[in-house]
Amino acid sequence: MAGISGMDSLVSIVNRLQDVTTRSRVTFEWDSPQIALVGGRSVGKSSLIESLVGRDFLPRGYGMVTRRPLILQLINNGNEDPDYAEFLHCSDKKFTDFNHVKQEIEEDTNLVIDRKEDISHNPINLRIYSSKVLNSTWIDLPGFTKVPIDDPRYEIESKIHKIILDYISNESCVILAVTPANMDLANSVALQIAKEVDPQGLRTIGVITKLDQLDEKTDVREIFENRLLPLRRGYIGVVNRGSKAIDENTDIADALHDEKSFFKNHESYKHMADKLGTPYLQKILNQQLVVNIRESLPSLRKKLLDQKTLYEKDLSMEDMNIDDLASKTTLMIQMIDKLRLQFANTIGCYESHEIGEFLNGGSKICHLMHEKLSEEISALTSAGNNTVRREIKLAILNIRGVRLGMFTPDTAFEAVAKEQIRRLKKPALDCVSEVTEELNQLLHDCTKVMSRYPSFQEITEEKLITYLKQCEEKCKKQLCDLVEFELSYINTKHVDFIGLEKATEKSYKNTLSMKFPNDDADLYEKFSTNTKMTQEVYKFKILIDSYMDIVTKTVQDLVPKIIMFMIIENVKHFINVELLSQLVGSEDVIQLMELCEAEKIKRDHLTQMYEASNDALKILSQVSASLAAYN
């Protein structure tokens, strides 16, 4: 692709900016210039685009050749691969032969438009990828010719007018108003249409073509001096390849050389040759790109600084991973503190106030110690009513032995009561096991805060579970002792115990209501020995129920307290006070705090990205300096 003076430095700047975004992986886009060429038919718009792009790829011919807008995107791909082109309508195909690009434009135009003299608003989208171009968008529009209203071609010209206005109305679009040198400037269709959307001329550049076709004694110097129909951004003259040069396959580089010679040697233009020609036009257009890039640099710099700060913050956490004992010990203390906080929050010590989505471990343990324990004891009591009655009767009979006896001995009551008390041991111990199991899972989850350090996580969890098991054993022993306390002394003087007198009265009334529902019954004849035993059993049942109610309440009250004191509070104390000393005293701290492989990769990545952000900022400063020097 042919080079144009001044292009290399700007391409280098753009490539370095792309290096910045590639290195730092920052998404960044600047507004590439959009340049629309407006003019009549056969004024040299297509030739001008080819000279600016440096490629021969547009169709040629007589009459109306450009019948659809061509939107050409030049994309700097930053590598030395061969240039290639892609069409939107066949994006899976790469064109490396630009003669085929020309052929594809013609074929797709004919596919959309049946009649040769018709036009379409439907554009052709073409992209050219090269390391030698600047990102920009060019729009080649159908040529315009004014015709009378009664002319059959008027409808087509109206369509062309509308198409042109649709594209050049965009405020960010630079308008190249192309006029041939042999046309009266006052009749320039390009300038007239441009003025419709840009009356102040802020984005219109006049381009004068076909200067080489003027008579030797004729020149348009006053146009270039901006004295005739002046434009804010002035006029630039160019000499494109003519039909003869194209037929002779004169390449664009030679054509640019011929253009330069033309202006340097022309009597009327040689004093202003540096302000004429395709390279100068390219320079003016490049200045627009420079403006756009300059406006975008503060945003890019901010993104890079924000990214650098973020990586710096992440790396400040990673810096604790340097291999010295003091840093590793500090890191270990931080991790244990996180574990402490996590455990406290999960148990429900309100060091955080997050609602969460699920029940935490503390709420589950609370349910086990209260609702479930109560349900287990209640089920045990209700299911054993008949068993208790049989045990009472059996105890009475066995203690009396061969004697009939007038009174039931206290030993029968104690024997049955103690048997019932022994049955409370299982639900109490089961509660401890279930709480321990829940704590086991809870501690496992809490140690996940250490997952970046697998060895540390493993040994910490191992020590926690070992200590938890010790607490469980001590707690169960304490509960067994509690049951033994209750068995060692049956306290019938308890303030809540019903007592023998009230139990006897309640039993007697109940027996009468069951056996003698009618007031006229013969009480003496009906009252038998069996009825007396029933009354004794019922009385004892009342006494047992009353006493067991006291014991059950004691167990239900003390089991949660013992679990809290002997397991949960001890585990908290172990984490807060003893865990660190055990780890530091028995393990190699540096080895223990070794990162897992995934975290090592992450740390290396963070380091690379931090350095890349730094490098990108340095390049950006150099780019800013280069842009300041660019003219």
More confident residue, 354 or 368: 368
Q: What is the pLDDT of residue 191?
A: 95
Q: What is the pLDDT of residue 435?
A: 96
More confident residue, 519 or 392: 392
More confident residue, 491 or 502: 491
How long a stretch of residues is the chain?
631
Find the range with the poorest average confidence among 16-25, 53-62, 234-243, 250-259.
16-25
DSSP secondary structure letter of residue 450 = G
Average pLDDT over residues 214-243: 89
Tokens of 311: 């990586």
Q: What is the pLDDT of residue 371?
A: 93
Number of other CB atoms surrounding residue 333 within 10 Å: 12
Q: pLDDT-based confidence at 407, cuts 50/70/90?
A: low
Q: What is the pLDDT of residue 555?
A: 94
Average pLDDT over residues 208-224: 90
- Give the N- to C-terminal CA distance of the chain in Å, as an integer: 23
Average pLDDT over residues 600-625: 82
Q: What is the pLDDT of residue 28?
A: 58
CA–CA dist 583, 448 (Å, integer): 17
Percent of the chain with pLDDT over 70: 77
Q: What share of the chain is helix, strand, coil (3-state, %, to 5)?
A: 65, 10, 30
Q: What is the pLDDT of residue 60?
A: 78
More confident residue, 348 or 478: 478
List the Cα angle 165/169/172 in 5-degree steps. 145
Average pLDDT over residues 155-182: 89
Q: What is the pLDDT of residue 133?
A: 78
- What domains are there in the chain, each with its CATH number? 9-24+35-300 (3.40.50.300), 361-568 (1.20.120.1240)
Q: What is the pLDDT of residue 147?
A: 59
- When the pLDDT of each residue in the chain is averaged and rounded to a whole number, the result is 81
Q: Concatenated DSSP letters for 42-100?
A: TSSHHHHHHHHHT---S---SS----S-EEEEEEE--S-SPPEEEETTEEEEEE-SHHH
CA–CA dist 368, 361 (Å, integer): 11
Of the ranges 135-149, 314-328, 386-400, 402-416, the best mean pLDDT one:
135-149
DSSP secondary structure letter of residue 575 = I
More confident residue, 280 or 322: 280
Decide if pLDDT at 387 tops 80: no
Decide if pLDDT at 608 tops 70: yes
Average pLDDT over residues 142-162: 73
Average pLDDT over residues 253-257: 87
Percent of the chain with pLDDT over 90: 33
SS (HEC) of 151-207: CCCHHHHHHHHHHHHHHHCCCCEEEEEEEECCCCHHHCHHHHHHHHHCCCCCCEEEE
pTM of the model: 0.53
CA–CA dist 615, 25 (Å, integer): 12
Average pLDDT over residues 410-438: 89
Which H or E run contains 546?
Answer: helix 529-563
Average pLDDT over residues 496-510: 60
pLDDT single digits (tens) 511-540: 555 554 444 444 334 444 455 666 676 677
Distances (CA, A) of 93 to 76, 86, 96, 135: 19, 6, 10, 21
pLDDT single digits (tens) 63-114: 678 889 999 988 877 666 788 999 988 888 999 998 899 999 999 988 888 7
Q: What is the pLDDT of residue 511?
A: 53
pLDDT single digits (tens) 315-354: 776 555 566 778 888 888 989 999 999 998 888 755 445 5
Number of other CB atoms surrounding residue 379 within 10 Å: 11
Residues 6+ away with beta carbon under 8 Å from 201: 194, 195, 231, 232, 233
Q: pLDDT-based confidence at 355, cuts 50/70/90?
A: low
Average pLDDT over residues 10-19: 68
Decide if pLDDT at 481 tops 90: yes
Q: What is the pLDDT of residue 318?
A: 58
In the chain, DSSP finds a helix count (H) and a strand count (E) of 23, 9
More confident residue, 6 or 571: 571
Q: What is the pLDDT of residue 285?
A: 86
Decide if pLDDT at 384 tops 70: no
90 forms bridges with which residues in the sheet? 87
Long-range contacts at 528-532 (CB < 8 A, ≥ 24 apart): none
Q: What is the pLDDT of residue 471?
A: 97
Q: Concatenated DSSP letters for 349-373?
A: --SS----SS--HHHHHHHIIIIIH
Q: What is the pLDDT of residue 520?
A: 43
Q: What is the pLDDT of residue 493?
A: 86
More confident residue, 490 or 350: 490
CA–CA dist 461, 450 (Å, integer): 10
